[in-house]
């Protein structure tokens, strides 16, 4: 009787532990004991181990926030099949992590998941992954290659920013948007394969990718944001697809090796400093639908020799062609009514320029320092000439009219 009572009591204790307390699993990895705390939903919520190689136990479905954050002793992580989620900052700051195996069951990798894992060298994101969070691999300074097989629709902001050794990226066809600063300062990036279906490249997405020599912009792309390729100093040529209506501000600024640009016939405006400091750009054909060229659009394009503005252009911003050292010929459209300040200042070789009959104002310093400018026909419509508009030119002209 006493034995039966004891057995019944033991069963009750076991049932109580199973149903009212989280299941605690203790596993061994590389000969060292590591503690994994997993609740009944399969969520790994705490880790107390010190092993260099960590094998996450089977049965885990998600790795929760911050579980392995700043565990600098970890060198390798093996994540088993069945895991579907890696949540925010789960492995952030694991600075000695060199290898991570992601299972084919994975669906989500959340924000900051592997941020500052400075020794990871490659990553393959599996087919079923539908979401990657922002800053996911930010400052993974030894990461060299990334292959994304998943069906994600966007590369979020700062996902790979400051991955200074990243050289190769392969994106899937499902990607529609590359968000701002996604590849910011990836200074070793030489090759990225953009697929048809991409609609938008947001601001500063590739800013500072100074090793990028070429990039294909898919025909489906309709918008490229401000400074998207700012400082891509090795980029040699670019062709923008038909359908684009605007070149954003500073989008190719300081692309110092850029020699060839093809603009689409659908283009209507060129933003401020869009091609500023493209020192090797030798020629540019402005499409016939462009109506406005914003301030500084071609400032410091030292190799440009000739500019012909189509009749559609009615607005030319200040400093638009300033410091074009080799610029020799300029043909302005008849619809322009004002030549703004510093528009052609310091164009030392400018010898030929026509002033349209609708021009009523020439701004201050508009042709300042145009040493080669000796012949100039001023239409009767001009009523205002700004201070030093023709100072230090070859003209013998008194602008105190």
Tokens coding 320 = 């638009």
Distance CA 130, CA 305 (A): 49
Tell me which H or E stretch contains 112: none
Per the CB < 8 A criterion, the answer to whether 218 and 197 are in contact is yes
| Structure-token match 């093996």, residue found | 78
What is the pLDDT at residue 25? Answer: 40
Give the pLDDT of residue 4: 55
Spatial distance between the Cα atoms of 171 and 205, rounded to a whole number of angstroms: 14
Question: What is the reported pLDDT for 120?
Answer: 97
Q: What is the pLDDT of residue 20?
A: 42
Could you write out the DSSP letters of every residue in 236-262? Answer: -EEEPPTT--EEPTTTTTT-TT--EEE
The pLDDT, as a whole number, for residue 75 is 97
The helix (run of H) or strand (run of E) holding residue 27 is strand 24-29
| Alpha-helical regions (H) of 257-380 | none
- Bridging pattern class, strands 62-63 and 85-86: parallel
Query: Phi first, then psi: what are they for 27, rounded to 5°?
Result: -120, 160
Q: pLDDT at position 274, please?
A: 98
Compute the distance between CA of residue 38 and CA of residue 58 in angstroms, rounded to an integer. Answer: 11
Count of CB atoms situated within 10 Å of the CB of 162: 21
- Count other C-beta atoms under 10 Å from residue 244's C-beta: 19
Burial 60-80 (b: 16+ CB within 10 A, else e): bebbbbbbbbebeebbbbebe
CB-based burial, 17-38: b 16+ in 10 Å, e otherwise: eeeeeeeebeeebeeeebebbb
- The one-digit pLDDT tens for each residue of the chain (401 residues) are 444 544 455 555 554 444 444 444 433 333 344 589 999 999 999 999 999 999 999 999 999 999 999 999 999 999 999 999 999 999 999 999 999 989 999 999 999 999 999 999 999 999 999 999 999 999 999 999 999 997 999 999 999 999 999 999 999 999 999 999 999 999 999 999 899 999 999 999 999 999 999 999 999 999 999 999 999 999 999 999 999 999 999 999 999 999 999 999 999 999 999 999 999 999 999 999 999 999 999 999 999 999 999 999 999 999 999 999 999 999 999 999 999 999 999 999 999 999 999 999 999 999 999 999 988 889 999 999 999 999 999 886 544 44
Q: Which two tokens stand for residue 285?
A: 């054909």
pLDDT attached to residue 101:
86
Report residue 364: phi and psi, to 5°.
-60, 135
Give the start-end residues of each E strand in 244-325. 246-247, 260-262, 269-270, 292-293, 306-308, 315-316
pLDDT at residue 21, as a whole number: 43
d(CA 91, CA 341): 54
């Amino acid at each position: 009787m006493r034995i039966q009572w004891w057995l019944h009591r033991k069963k009750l204790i076991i049932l109580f532990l199973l149903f009212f307390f989280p299941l605690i699993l203790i596993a061994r990895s590389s000969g060292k004991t590591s503690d994994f705390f997993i609740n009944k939903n399969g969520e790994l919520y705490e880790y107390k181990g010190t092993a260099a190689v960590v094998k996450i136990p089977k049965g885990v479905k998600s790795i929760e926030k911050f579980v392995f954050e700043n565990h600098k002793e970890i060198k390798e992580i093996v994540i088993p099949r069945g895991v579907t989620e890696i949540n925010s900052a789960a492995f952030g700051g694991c600075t000695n992590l060199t290898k991570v195996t992601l299972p084919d069951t994975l669906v989500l990798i959340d924000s900051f998941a592997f941020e500052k894992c400075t020794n990871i060298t490659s990553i393959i994101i599996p087919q079923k992954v539908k979401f990657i969070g922002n800053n996911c691999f930010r400052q993974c300074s030894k990461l060299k290659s990334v292959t994304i097989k998943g069906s994600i629709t966007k590369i979020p902001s700062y996902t790979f920013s400051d991955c200074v050794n990243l050289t190769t990226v392969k994106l899937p066809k499902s990607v529609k948007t590359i968000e701002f600063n996604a590849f910011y300062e990836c200074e070793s990036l030489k090759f990225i394969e953009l697929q048809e279906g991409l609609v938008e490249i947001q601001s500063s997405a590739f800013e500072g990718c100074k090793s990028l020599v070429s990039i294909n912009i898919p025909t489906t792309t309709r918008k490229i944001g401000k400074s998207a390729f700012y400082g891509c100093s090795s980029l040699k040529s670019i062709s923008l697809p038909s359908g684009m209506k605007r070149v954003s501000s500073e989008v190719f600024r300081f692309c110092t090796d850029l020699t060839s640009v093809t603009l689409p016939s659908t283009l209507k405006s060129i933003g401020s400093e869009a091609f500023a400091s493209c020192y090797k750009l030798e020629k540019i054909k402005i499409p016939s639908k462009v109506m406005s060229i914003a301030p500084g659009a071609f400032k410091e394009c030292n190799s440009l020799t000739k500019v012909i503005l189509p009749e559609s252009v009615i607005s030319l911003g200040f400093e638009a062609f300033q410091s074009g050292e080799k610029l020799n010929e300029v043909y302005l459209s008849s619809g322009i009514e004002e030549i703004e300040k510093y528009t052609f200042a310091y164009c030392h070789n400018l010898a030929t320029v026509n002033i349209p009959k609708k021009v009523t104002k020439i701004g201050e310093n508009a042709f300042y320092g145009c040493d080669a400018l000796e012949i100039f026909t001023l239409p009767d419509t001009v009523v205002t000439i700004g201070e030093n508009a023709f100072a230090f030119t070859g003209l013998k002209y008194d602008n105190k009219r």
